[in-house]
Structure formats: C-alpha cells, structure tokens
Amino acid sequence: MKIILVAAVMLSHSFGESIKSKYEETSLKIISKSLTDSTAYNRLGYMCDTFGPRLSGSKNLENAIKWILKEMNSDGFENVRGEKVPVPTWIRGKESATLLSPFKKELSMLGLGGSISTPRGGLKAEVIVVNNWDELESRSNEVPGKIVLFNAPFTSYGETVAYRYSGASAAAKHGAVASLIRSIGPWSMNTPHTGVMAYDDDVQKIPHAALTMEDAMMLSRIHDRGDKIIVKLDMNARMVADRWSHNVLGEIKGSIYPDEVVVVGGHIDSWDVGQGAQDDGGGCIASWEAVRLIQELGLKPKRTIRCVLWTNEENGGQGNKGYRDMHMDEMDKHVLAIESDGGVFSPKGFGFSGNDSARKIVEEIHALMKPIGANTISEGGRAADVAPLNDEGVPVMSLKVDGSKYFWYHHTNADTFDKVDFNEFNRCVAAIAIMAYVVADLDEPLPR
Amino acid sequence: MKIILVAAVMLSHSFGESIKSKYEETSLKIISKSLTDSTAYNRLGYMCDTFGPRLSGSKNLENAIKWILKEMNSDGFENVRGEKVPVPTWIRGKESATLLSPFKKELSMLGLGGSISTPRGGLKAEVIVVNNWDELESRSNEVPGKIVLFNAPFTSYGETVAYRYSGASAAAKHGAVASLIRSIGPWSMNTPHTGVMAYDDDVQKIPHAALTMEDAMMLSRIHDRGDKIIVKLDMNARMVADRWSHNVLGEIKGSIYPDEVVVVGGHIDSWDVGQGAQDDGGGCIASWEAVRLIQELGLKPKRTIRCVLWTNEENGGQGNKGYRDMHMDEMDKHVLAIESDGGVFSPKGFGFSGNDSARKIVEEIHALMKPIGANTISEGGRAADVAPLNDEGVPVMSLKVDGSKYFWYHHTNADTFDKVDFNEFNRCVAAIAIMAYVVADLDEPLPR
C-alpha cells in the first residue's frame, strides 16, 4: 500500500505542483470575499426592481443590458460590448380565461410564448380534459370544436414540458379550437407558468395557454364527474417582426495567453412575468461578479476570462447561436465555457462535458470548493447557451445547484428577488470564480 | 412503589372500567372505517368544485348549505335544519392596483373584507412604505395624501394580522388616502391573502387592500433606494344590507340522555377566493363525516351528537353568536363543543378548555388516538365558533393539526381541494369521531 501511495504522489507531482497546493490559498480568498461582499446581491436586486422582467424584444431587456454595460465599464472590465442579435419578438397583450359553466370563475392563466391570439372578442368552447397524449388519441372523436386541456401531472421538466411545447399542434390535429395545459411545475399556490411553445408547420395554429395546477385539477375533477365545462379564452398575443437585442460581453485580459478564453455566463433575457431572478438574472449577475471578484482580488490569470450574458435563451436561442457565429474564428481558443442557468440556490458543483483528461483536472478543482459544499462533479455540462460551443469542440460546464424549488418559480410571477438567498447566491459566485480562475490560470489549456 | 401503583390502579377502577379498555375496540373500528372511506373526501371535492368559494351573503354559500342539508337528510340525520342568521355582506367588485412609477406593473392584490371602495375611477398617490407601527408614527409628517404600505414581515398570525385588521384607520389618522399591507402569510408564490378588516368609528374610512409578499418587498426595496413610488388603486368594494344565511344543524339522538349534547363542527362560510378547502370546508365536512361514521358503524352513544356548521365566521361571527342565542336554554346541557378550524392536515390532538377533572378524562380519550398520531392534548380549546359557548360554561375543544402550511393557503386562491390529503383528512375525521363518540357515551357528562 505504502509503495503505491508514494508512486501516486510522485506521479501527481511529476506534472508540477498539485492544483490543491497551488490554488488552495487563492480559492479560500475568493470564498471569503464572495461570502461577505454584497455588490452582486444588491445589483441583482436593483436590476430586478428597476427594469422588470426582460423578455426578448422588450425595452425592459435592452434597458437592463445598457445598465450592465455601463456598470461593467465602471468595474474596469475590458472589451465591454453589446453584440447585436436579431431576436424573435412575441407580445403577450391582454389575456384571460373565464370558466362559464358549470359556474363562473376567472381562471388564473398565462398565454404561452409564441401562441397566436384568439379571434377578436375571444373564443368560447366546451373543454375536454385529457391526462396524457394517449387519452388525446383515444378520445379523438370528441375533440373537434373543443378546447383540449392537458392535465398532465409534473414528472420531470424534460418530460412534462412536451405538453407546453407541442400541445397546441397535437390538439389541433384532432380538430381542437384552442389548447390549455396544466402549468409545468411540481407545486403551486395558484401560480401559472408560462414558457415557449411552437407550432407544427402543417397544422392549423390554435391559441395555447397555461392554467394553474389548481384550476387544471379542478376542471379535471369536474370533467370526471360528467359535468360540461365551458371556457371563454381571450388572448391578444402576437408575434411581431424580429427586433435587435444584444449579447453582453466584458472581460479581464489574460496575462500570458490573452487570446485563450474561459467563458462564464448566463442568459440575460427572461419571460415577461415576475423578475427573472432565478431564471436567469441570478446566473448572469453571479457570473459577472465572479469576474469582478477575480479582478478586485488582484488575481492575474494567464488566460482571458470573458463574461457572456446571452440574449433570447427563452424563446429562440438567437443569443447563443449569434455568439458562436460571431466568435467562430476563436472557437479553438475557447478553453472552457461555464453556464449558470439552473438558479442560484445552494451550489453542488458543476456538470462537465469534456474528455477524461480534462475531467480529471476539473475534478481536482472541485476539491477546492469543499468549503462551500460545491465539490461534486457530475455529468452534463451542455446547458442551452454553451451547447453550441460544445458542438464546436469546446469543453463546457453547467453550475449545479439544489434544484428542489427551481421549478416552483420557473417562468412565473413568483420568480422574484426575494427568492434569492444571500449566502446561497454568494456561494454560487465563489464556485464560478474558483472554476474560472483556476482553469484560466493552468499552465496548459484544458485538454480537448 | 408497588403499593402506590396498586392504589392508583384501584382508584382508576373504582370508577368502573377504564376508558381505554371500554372504548379501544370501538375506536379502532372508527379509525379503520375512516381511513378507507372516501365519502367525506369526495363530498369535500364536490362542494369545492360545485359551489365555489362561500362568502357570507353569497348565493354560493347558500347553495352549498342547501346541498348539505339535503345530504344530511339522506344520511338519516335527525333534526336537520338551517337556522336563520342575518350576516353582514361585503361585495368585492372589480379591483386592481397598478404600479405607475418607477415603472408600470400590475400588482397582484386582494381587497380586504369590509373595505370601502376607492373614488370612482380609482385613486392615484405616492406610496410610503413602513415596516411597522413605530415607523408609521415616526414618519407621520410624510403620510398626508399618500398611500401607506405596511410591509410587516410575518411573525405569527396573531401578531401580524393587526396590520390587516387595523391598518386602514391607523394610516388614516396620519392623513393617508389609502392603505396597503403585505399579505399576512409566511410564504408566497405571488399569492395575495384577503381577510377581514375594520375601521375605527372616529376616523375617516380609506380603502384597504393586500399586495403579495413579493410586490410589498419589492416596493420596500425601491423605497429604500430613494425612488418615488406611485400606485393607482381601483376598488369597487362595498358593504350592502345584511342578508340571511344559515347555521347548519344535523344530529344523531342520544340513546339515554337525548337532551344532552356534544357539538362538533366548523364554519361553512369562507372568503370569496379559492375554494375554502382548508379554511374551513375540510373542518366542516370532517365533523359531519364523524357523525355519519358513528351512525354507519351502528354506535348508539348515550348523548346526542350534533353537527353544527356555523355561518359567517370570517367576517362577523354572527353564526356562532346566533347559535349561542338560539340555544341558550340548553347551554347547561351542552356537554362539550368541538371545533375544527385550523385545516385538515395531519391531526395532533385537541386543545382543551375546561376544568381539571374533565381534562383528565379527555386525556384518557386522547390515548385512544395514538394509532393516528392524534394523542397530544394541549391548551386552548377556544376557537372562534365555540368561544361563545365556553363563555357560557361549556367545555370546548379545538382540533390541532400540523399547521406548518396552513397560513400558506389561508384566505387565498390557493386554498383549494388539491391541498387536502386523503389520509390526513381522514385521520382528522377519525379523531373527531372518537372524541365525540366517547364523550357522548360516558356514564357521566364531562365535569364543568
């Protein structure tokens, strides 16, 4: 045993000083600074409370972006810029869903992003409730002329979101005049969830909206008792011409390899409800703050660290595609891209998509994050905005956090600044800062 | 030691068979039946989904009452009747609160029960945010002409509810034109809470409404940053003339002392939002079911068990006063009155207000409820609808449950049937049934 241990230690040392011994002191400094600094937390609160939700194509979003560019400049970041991206623009307009029979009740609802409007004056129809795709198929003959309500219980976001994304065309194929879903979330306090949807090209477009879990379950019970349900749906939603938005970039230059880049970021757009605090204001401000702290601590990483706040993640992904396209010539210089888009709850570590040699190094860096509980490396670094970079060969990472409440707030009016805990948020900042700094400062770039 | 133990056992036996040995088999039967019977759970769902929320003075409430009377008759209850009670009647009407500055946002709100309307067309004013009564006093000179927002954090319902009940007159005394509160609850997903408020006689009446925790906290942060807040409040609320409502009564007659009565019940009215499922549809249907189960099991208690569903608990208490007044001549025959009005979550036992001799007996009965975890006797049986009976000398009890989520839903659109768990609800039924049956069947009435 002893001999093997000695050999292992020698092997590790044969590549020079271990990551632990080289970066432990610095990472403790980063942790100590992040846990006590309130700059980022206050900035997140200010952004949430001043600009409101940040849907692609909205003035709110562009105002928030302008403010960030100004602040990044005053932080002393280099190459601060907004890179223009055309974004699809959907406008919710006024909307309502009213239960007319068996009794009158205003239903709490949110139209789904991309949905068309109802005819002017609204649309009144009987509702058929189905619990899944199979039931829609098997009851096909009852659907024509009706509103289909998909009352699918939440299993996982990945699975259940299909009703939101594809429900309208699925219902329209059977002759539905509109479709409703039970909000995609595991828990509700009369809280509807919005989110993106899309139409099949070859099917009649029909309006598509989300009810609260409570109302969807109620309508399902009424339906099961055999009572006739009539709902009036009135939506003024519309797509307008693409508008200009911007990816936000700001960086600190590498001291030795300035053309090699470690990217950290999140998406600066949100849905048009709540404040987009957890999705993804928190991820954006935490990434920005990670870079600012590295600078403020006087650390001089060998490589450039670039904060990228992508636009239009929620309903189009034009931000991440735009960034990839505009930076294609430096793709092989992208050493790592880190995304935070799962909320800024208690951090657990990072999901990683890259090769095994890189993974071993990343694992060693994780050990530095033990003091903040973020030392678990897992699979799956391909989040929405870094996936296009990964497709080009860039190793990518995704911050993993305690996700138990993420889908409570996701895409709702309850995704507000008060849901962000100061200490949890700051631990996310520390995790991103340590990972970005150490990878940017290694003697060799992460192997691909 | 041995001698003392023998003496104690002899003492207990000197009053005849112990409660445990006499009622254990029956209580296990009650438990077994309640835990598997879905009659009450289905009735609660039916009531919630068919009649909607049940505000005093509304058709919804009277329709629900009519249905209960019909069902109690078909259950074979005796003396089923609605006892007429005049109830104060408040009508919410259309209402909205719109943030106009520093940016435009519809605030999720609920007017508070008893509030007057705004002037026609609404009322637009600057908002001053205070966190407590002291701040209102110390900033008195800033209040005239403004809307006061009480952003008081939830400590306990008993303490924090004062801002809801008395906030309007407190603000008006300093010259406010309207008042808002942060909703009275510990948790929110953009969920406003309504509830009753009152005006001091000698102060100008001003409109009074609740914002969500999220919006109240946001306005407080904006206020702290020094930004001017302007809100437009538009409420059409009004009090109209008292209307007739009914206390619901139905009973099974005692086999030996039919004029002695054990009361079980809850309040059948609710606020005009959600479904009043936990507050207090669940308590009502559980009490009713307890009586029905005793009957269905063929148990013949010596005393009468009367289910009483009081009206107008939420905004006037005319139901409980009416019951007391109409039954004053039989007050000394009321052996016990049990109320369930804290939700039908996992039952813990009963709070009891009565003398020590009665308490000892009640404690023995609690031991029978160990299989359902409801064997903890505690202080405080005086809930709102049984307190007037207690004032007349009647021992009273209040079902105690796991209250950790009660104030999440209380008086909101999230107080819906889906929040009621089948097993927890049925254990409440069992607890009420055992307590009512054993007390009604004791050889002697509970000592006063």
Contact assessment for residue B382 and residue B353, using Cβ atoms and an 8 Å cutoff: yes
Residue A296, Cβ neighbours under 10 Å: how many? 14
Determine whether the interchain pair A221/B45 forms a contact, defined as Cβ–Cβ distance below 8 Å.
Answer: yes
Task: Supply the pLDDT for residue B17.
Answer: 82
Per-residue confidence (pLDDT) for residue B75, from 0 to 100: 98
Q: What is the pLDDT of residue A9?
A: 43
| pLDDT number for residue A17 | 82
What 3-state class would DSSP assign to A139? Answer: coil
Look up residue A46 and give its two tokens. Answer: 């200010």
- Count of other CB atoms within 10 angstroms of residue A290: 29
Q: Looking at residue B272, what is its pLDDT?
A: 98
For the purposes of burial, counting CB atoms within 10 Å of the CB of B219, is it exposed (0-12), middle (13-18) or buried (19 or more)?
buried
Chain A hits for B58, Cβ within 8 Å: none
Q: Indicate yes or no: CB of A417 within 8 angstroms of CB of B50.
A: no
Q: Considering CB atoms only, which of A52, A108, A417 is closest to B413?
A: A108
Taking any CB pair shorter than 8 Å as contact, residues of chain B touching chain A are 45-46, 48-52, 102-103, 105, 108, 187-191, 213-214, 217-218, 221-222, 225, 274-275, 408-409, 412-414, 416-418
Query: CA–CA distance from A191 to each of A187, A194, A222, A300, B183 (Å)?
Result: 9, 10, 20, 46, 16
Distance, in angstroms, between B336 CA and closest chain A CA? 36
State residue B16's pLDDT score: 59
Binary contact (A48, B409; C-beta < 8 A): no
B313 in catalytic set? yes
Distance CA(A336)–CA(A396), nearest Å, equals: 6
Q: Are A150 and B370 in contact (CB under 8 A)?
A: no
Give the position of tokens 């657990």.
A348
Bigger pLDDT: B3 vs A59: A59
In angstroms, rounded to a whole number, what is the distance separating the alpha carbons of residues B140 and B170? Answer: 11
Residue B387 φ then ψ, to 5°: -55, -45
Confidence of residue B387 (pLDDT cuts 50, 70, 90): very high
Q: What is the average pLDDT across B144-151?
A: 98
Contacts of B1 (CB under 8 A, 6+ apart): none
Q: Do B309 and B248 meet the contact criterion of CB atoms below 8 Å apart?
A: yes
Q: Give residue B2's pLDDT.
A: 42
Res A6: pLDDT: 42
Average pLDDT of chain B is 96
Residue A119: exposure state from Cβ atoms within 10 A (0-12, 13-18, ≥19): exposed
Q: In this complex, which of B51, B52, B191 lies closest to A190 when CB atoms are compared?
A: B191
Q: What pLDDT is recorded for position B9?
A: 43
CA-wise closest residue to B390 among B320, B445, B289: B320
What was the pLDDT predicted at B249? 98
What are residue A99's DSSP bridge partners?
A105, A231
Phi, psi for residue B31 in degrees, rounded to 5: -60, -50
- How far apart are alpha carbons A337 and A320 in whole angstroms? 12
Residues of A with CB under 8 A from a CB of B: 45-46, 48-52, 102-103, 105, 108, 187-191, 213-214, 217-218, 221-222, 225, 274-275, 408-409, 412-414, 416-418
Whether the per-residue pLDDT at B418 is higher than 70: the answer is yes
Closest by alpha carbon to A428, among A362, A370, A343, A336?
A343
Residue B171 pLDDT grade (very low, low, confident, very high; cuts 50, 70, 90): very high
> A272 near A64, Cβ under 8 Å?
no
Active-site residue identified among B289, B313, B314, B339:
B313
Sign of the alpha-carbon dihedral angle for B301, B304, B309, B314: negative
B113: left (phi over 0), alpha (psi -120 to 50) or beta: beta
Whether residue B103 and residue A221 make contact (CB cut-off 8 A), yes or no, is no
**Which regions in chain A score pLDDT beneath 50?**
1-14
What is the C-alpha to C-alpha distance for residues A176 and A179, in angstroms, rounded to an integer? 7
Residue B162 token pair = 């004062």
Which residues touch A440 (CB under 8 Å, ≥6 apart)? A254, A260, A262, A301, A302, A303, A304, A305, A335
Q: Which of A448, A324, A304, A311 is nearest to A386 (CA)?
A: A324
At CA B194, angle to CA A101 and CA B130, rounded to 5? 145
The angle, 0 to 180 degrees and rounded to 10, between the axes of the packed helices A19-36 and A356-367 is 50
- Supply A218's token pair: 């109620």
The whole-angstrom separation of Cα B263 and Cα B287 is 9
What's the burial of B429, exposed, middle or buried (CB within 10 Å: 0-12/13-18/19+)? buried
Alpha-helical segments (H) within A368-421: 387-391, 406-409
C-alpha to C-alpha distance for B426 and A244, rounded to whole angstroms: 58
